Amino acid sequence: MSSTESSCSPTTPAQCGGVPRASSAAPASDAHLPDGPRARVVVAVASLGFFLITLDVSIVNVALASIREQLGGGVRGQQWIIDGYTLLFAALLLFAGNLADRIGARRALVVGIVAFTLTSAACALAPGAGALVAARCAQGASAAIVLPASMALIREAFPDPRRRARALGIWAVGGAVSAVLGQPLGGLLTSVDWRWIFTINVPVGVLMLGLLLLVAPSPVRPARFDVAGQVLAVVALSALVFGLIEGGHSGFAEPEVLAALAVAVAALAAFVGVQAKGRAPMLPLELFAARGMRLALPVGFTFMVANLGHVFVVSLFLQQQLGLSPLHAGLVFVPAALLAVVGNLASGPVTNRLGTRVPVVAGQLSMVAGLVALVAATAATDPADGWPWLVALALVPVGAGGSLAMPPVTGVVLEGVAPERAGTASAVLNTFRQIGGAVAIAVFGALIAEPAGFLPGLRTSLLVCAALLLLTAVNSLRIGAPGSTALERTAVAAR
C-alpha cells in the first residue's frame, strides 16, 4: 500500500496524497457531493462493476447446453460451471469487504477488475470442463472483490440517504442491463462460439480501469485479516455445495455426501466460534444486532434462490425441452429484463416517497405471482407452438418485482452501519445472496437431473422459490416498525 492512499481518511482536507478531492478551501467530503462530476463517475464505475459480475451469470446460463456438448460433464458439470463461480463469490465476499475497508474501496476495485479480466480470458481458453470450472472459481473470487468495493464507493460518495437511494437504484441498473443483454447476447455469441461469452468481459474491464483513474483515493482503516475465519468459511461453503450437488445425483445416504455435509456443519460451527472470540473477525457478530440487517439478510438469500434458480432451470427448459436455439432462448428473457431496468430506476424514488417496506413487500409478491404463472406456463407450453410466449409473459413480474425490491434492501443495510463498515456490511448481505444462489443451483439441478423427471423437478423448483419469497414478504412487513432506518424516517417526514 502506498503512503498516498493509506494516509487518506474521511476527515482529510482538500488534498489527499496529491489527488484533488475538491477546491483547496473545501473539506474532503465535498468530493462526495452527489451532484458533482466525481460522484457521477463513481456511480458509473460502480454500475459497470455490477454489470460485469452479473453478466457472467446470465450470459453463461444460455450457453450451458453448448458447453456440455463440446466439453461434456452432464448436468453435474453444468451445475459446477455456475456454482464454481457463485461458491467462491460467496465464500470470499467477507474477506473482500474487509479488504475494501483495509486498502480503500477504489484500490480494491482495481484489484478485482484486473483479476476478473484475466480469469475471464482463462475461461475463454479452457480446454476441458475441469479447467473451465477451475477458471470459473477464480473468476468468482475476483467478482467477490468487485461487488463490496463498488457498493462502498457509493456509500462514500452519497452520505445523504435519499440521494444514496437513487444512486443505489442506478447501481442496480447495471445488474438489470446485464440481464437484458446477458440472455440474448449469450445466445448470439454462443451461436458463433460459446468462448466469446467470456471474451466479452475483457473490453468492459479495460473501460472500468480507465474510469477508475478519475476516482479519488478512498479512506482506509487498519484491519487484520482473519485467516482462520476465511479458511473455515471456504471449507464450510464448499462442503455444503459439494454435498448438495453430489447428494442430488448419488443419494444423500452415500458416505462421501454425509461426510461433506458433516464437514460443512463442523466448519460452520467453528467459524461462528472464531468470529465470536477472535480479535479481528472478518464477520463482526455485532453487525447482526442491527435490526435492518436481520430483516435484509433473509430477503437477500431468498431473492437469489429465486432469481438465479429460476433462470437456471427455465434456460435449460427452453433449450432441452422446447428445442429453442440459444439465441431464441435468450430472447424469451428480454421483456422481463427490460421491465427490471424500469423497476431499478423507479426503486429509489418509490423508496424515498413511500419508505422501504412498500417496494420490498410489493416486489417480492410480484415475484411470487410470476413464479406461480411460470408453473402454469411450463405446463401449457407445447414445443409445437413454435414460440413460448406464455413463459416470456410469466417472467415479466419476476424481473420487475425483484428489481423493485432489492435496491431498498441494500439501502437498509448500508444505512444501519458506520461508513467505515460499509464494505463489510455489504459483503455480509451479498454473501447471503450468493449462498442462496449456490444452494439453488445445487438443489434445483438435482431435481431436474433425470430426463424423465425434468418437468416435475422444474415445477417443484419454481414453487419452492415462490413459497420462500412469500415467507420473506410477510417478514418484510416488519420493515418500518419501531427501530426503522433513518432513510425510512426521512421518507415519512417528507410525506
Mean pLDDT of 127-144: 90
pLDDT tens track for 426-470: 778 877 887 888 888 888 888 887 666 788 889 999 999 999 999
Higher pLDDT, 380 or 240: 240
Same domain, 264 and 287: no
Q: Mean pLDDT of all residues in the chain?
A: 78
Residue with cell 483479476: 115
pLDDT tens track for 44-54: 888 888 888 88
Residue 441 near residue 79 (C-beta atoms within 8 A): yes
Same domain, 158 and 241: no
Same domain, 54 and 177: yes
Mean pLDDT of 213-227: 73
Same domain, 327 and 204: yes
Residue 39 has a pLDDT of 76
Residue 136 has a pLDDT of 94
Same domain, 386 and 449: yes
Query: Of the candidates 235, 260, 275, which is a domain's last residue?
Result: 275
- The domain tally of the chain equals 2
For the cut 70, the answer to whether the pLDDT of residue 176 exceeds it is no
* Residue 116 domain flag: yes
C-alpha cell at 425: 456490511
Same domain, 126 and 230: no
Q: Place 404 in a pLDDT band, splitting at 50, 70 and 90.
A: confident
Same domain, 268 and 313: no
Highest mean pLDDT among 28-42, 80-94, 122-136, 307-321: 122-136
Same domain, 297 and 415: yes
For the cut 60, the answer to whether the pLDDT of residue 217 exceeds it is yes
Residue 489 has a pLDDT of 38
Distance CA 297, CA 427 (A): 11
| Domain of 253, in residue numbers | 226-275
Residue 37 has a pLDDT of 64
Cβ neighbours of residue 155 closer than 8 Å, sequence gap 6 or more? 164, 414, 419, 422, 426
Cβ neighbours of residue 391 closer than 8 Å, sequence gap 6 or more? 314, 317, 318, 332, 374, 377, 378, 381
For the cut 60, the answer to whether the pLDDT of residue 28 exceeds it is no
Residue with cell 470470499: 92
* Residue 471 domain flag: yes
Residue 87 has a pLDDT of 81
Residue 265 has a pLDDT of 94
User: pLDDT above 70 covers what percent of the chain?
Assistant: 82
Same domain, 383 and 424: yes
Residue 484 has a pLDDT of 45
* Residue 426 domain flag: yes
Cβ neighbours of residue 348 closer than 8 Å, sequence gap 6 or more? 165, 166, 167, 168, 169, 170, 407
Same domain, 193 and 236: no
Residue 1 has a pLDDT of 38
* Residue 438 domain flag: yes
CA dihedral 277, 143, 370, 491 (to 10 degrees): 70
